[in-house]
Amino acid sequence: MPFVADPHHPQPRRRLQHTRRRRPRRPTENPRTSPLPPTPRPPGPPSPTPPTPSDLEPSDLNSDSAAAPGGDEPARTLKRPRLVWTPQLHKRFVDAVAHLGIKNAVPKTIMQLMSVDGLTRENVASHLQKYRLYLKRMQGLATSGGGAGSGPISAADAATDQLFASAPVPHHFLSRGPVAGPEPFPPYVPMPALQHHQQIAAAMQQQQYYHQRHLGHFGSPTGGRGFDQGFLNRAVPQSGMHQMLAPAPGMGLMQLSSPRAASFVDDSEPAGREGSGERKVLTLFPTGED
DNA sequence: CGATCAATAT
DNA sequence: AATATTGATC
């Protein structure tokens, strides 16, 4: 069966070994005092069955997919587009990290809690790395006392700050010392109606991010590395990408109903009202509409 | 062995 | 600049 399933081998990549000198990881330090709980899942029925809601089978063929490499299974071979971290996605990420606690927040766990279809551990790991740098930067600035010249913030940082700013960073994250206890589950209350101000502000920020034009998507991570699926690489209608005030059709995030996944966050979606009923899980699949 | 981390590549 | 990928370690 021509079913190729290799998430890590999208294509033959050549390893360009340059003068790679990796520094030994701090041998004298053992930051990992807590190995990782066996199954740090939140209280809830473990459903190994992935979200696979109803039709998680996009099976969508893009015309350009014909250019698949290798020549075998063009439409299914994995060539996932780069993941674009939208504010929503990032929010879920931050929430997951916050609920797990910095100490237990590792890629695999975060990914599981996020329950975003198509998200891989690698995606999370990469983002986590960057997020940590961001937190570190903030710590540095905060502890510096805010004196002038203590924090050289480059323009580049400003850009990243915006993305990260779209999601509130838990206060304790910035504090040093023993923080982030293994909280079972934060007393989060679903607030249907809160300050609209926040939502509006968030929406505005989002619009900025949607200027990127790629969205995309992948398959189901279930089972560790499953994958399969097709994705749709759709560009946002750029005809006059000036006003794109409408959330619409180009939205790459869709919510689907899932067993339990997002019970901890308020997925306020400022603009993404599909108007379809209940949905709880974020997915990177295309809405299939445009 | 698999997950994680930090460095590196694209 | 933002993600992906790699390589080494835990």
Above pLDDT 90, what percent of chain A?
Answer: 15
In a domain, A16, yes or no: no
Counted domains in chain A = 1
Buried b (16+ CB within 10 A) or exposed e, A203-239: bebbbebbeeeebbbbbbbbeeeebbbbbbbbebeee
pLDDT of residue A31: 46
Integer Cα distance of A179 and A36 in angstroms:
16
> Which residue has its C-alpha nearest to nucleotide B7's C1'?
A22
- Report the half-sphere exposure of A290 (CA within 13 A, side-chain side): 16
Measured from the CB, is A13 under 7 Å from any atom of strand C?
Answer: yes
Q: Which nucleotide is nearest to A103 (CA to C1')?
A: B4
In a domain, A252, yes or no: no
Q: Which nucleotides of B are covered by protein (CB under 7 A)?
A: 3-10
A255 token code pair: 């919510």
Q: Which nucleotide is nearest to A104 (CA to C1')?
A: B4
Distance CA A17 to C1' B3 in A? 24
Q: What is the pLDDT of residues A44-86, one digit of tens each?
A: 333 333 333 333 333 333 334 344 444 555 555 667 889 999 9
Please answer whether residues A78 and A227 qualify as being in contact, where contact means their C-beta atoms are separated by less than 8 angstroms.
Answer: yes
Measured from the CB, is A21 under 7 Å from any atom of strand B?
Answer: yes
Measured from the CB, is A161 under 7 Å from any atom of strand C?
Answer: no
In a domain, A105, yes or no: yes
Measured from the CB, is A171 under 7 Å from any atom of strand B?
Answer: no
Integer Cα distance of A96 and A6 in angstroms:
27
Mean pLDDT in residue range A3-25 = 41
Listed residue (A86, A82, A95, A116) closest to A270, CA to CA: A86
pLDDT of residue A110: 96
Higher-pLDDT residue of A123, A9: A123
In a domain, A165, yes or no: no
Q: Which residue reads 């700050």 in tokens?
A: A161
Q: What is the pLDDT of residues A196-220, one digit of tens each?
A: 344 333 444 444 444 444 444 444 4
Q: Which nucleotides of C are covered by protein (CB under 7 A)?
A: 1-10
Q: Is the dihedral of CA A198, A163, A267, A109 positive or negative?
A: negative
Mean pLDDT in residue range A231-257 = 40
Measured from the CB, is A146 under 7 Å from any atom of strand C?
Answer: no
Q: What is the pLDDT of residues A248-274, one digit of tens each?
A: 443 444 444 444 454 555 666 555 444
**What is the three-class DSSP state of A202?**
helix
pLDDT of residue A138: 83
pLDDT at position A7 over 50: no
DSSP A215-265: -------TTSS-------------TTTT------TT---EEE--SS---S-
pLDDT of residue A152: 64
Mean pLDDT in residue range A173-186 = 52
Question: CA A136, A141, A142 angle in degrees (round to 5)?
Answer: 95
Confidence of residue A279 (pLDDT cuts 50, 70, 90): low
A38: buried, middle or exposed (CB in 10 Å: 19+, 13-18, 0-12)? exposed
Integer Cα distance of A250 and A288 in angstroms:
9
Could you tell me the residue range of the domain that residue A126 belongs to? Answer: 83-141
Confidence of residue A223 (pLDDT cuts 50, 70, 90): very low
Confidence of residue A154 (pLDDT cuts 50, 70, 90): low
Q: Is the pTM of this model over 0.75?
A: no
pLDDT of residue A139: 75
> Which residue has its C-alpha nearest to nucleotide B6's C1'?
A25
Q: Which nucleotide is nearest to A161 (CA to C1')?
A: C1
Please answer whether residues A179 and A93 qualify as being in contact, where contact means their C-beta atoms are separated by less than 8 angstroms.
Answer: no
pLDDT at position A177 over 60: no
Above pLDDT 70, what percent of chain A?
Answer: 27
How confident is the prediction for chain A on average, in pLDDT? 57
Confidence of residue A174 (pLDDT cuts 50, 70, 90): low
Distance CA A282 to C1' C5 in A? 26
In a domain, A90, yes or no: yes
Supply φ then ψ for residue A283, to 5 degrees. Answer: -140, 155
pLDDT of residue A63: 38
> Which residue has its C-alpha nearest to nucleotide C6's C1'?
A15
Q: For chain A, report the end-to-end CA distance as a whole number of angstroms.
A: 34
Reading phi first (left if > 0) and then psi (alpha if -120 to 50, else beta), residue A228 is in: left
Distance CA A275 to C1' B6 in A? 43
In a domain, A89, yes or no: yes
In a domain, A210, yes or no: no
Higher-pLDDT residue of A113, A75: A113
Measured from the CB, is A129 under 7 Å from any atom of strand B?
Answer: yes
Q: Which nucleotide is nearest to A127 (CA to C1')?
A: C3
**Which CATH number goes with the domain that contains A123?**
1.10.10.60
In a domain, A170, yes or no: no
Measured from the CB, is A156 under 7 Å from any atom of strand C?
Answer: yes
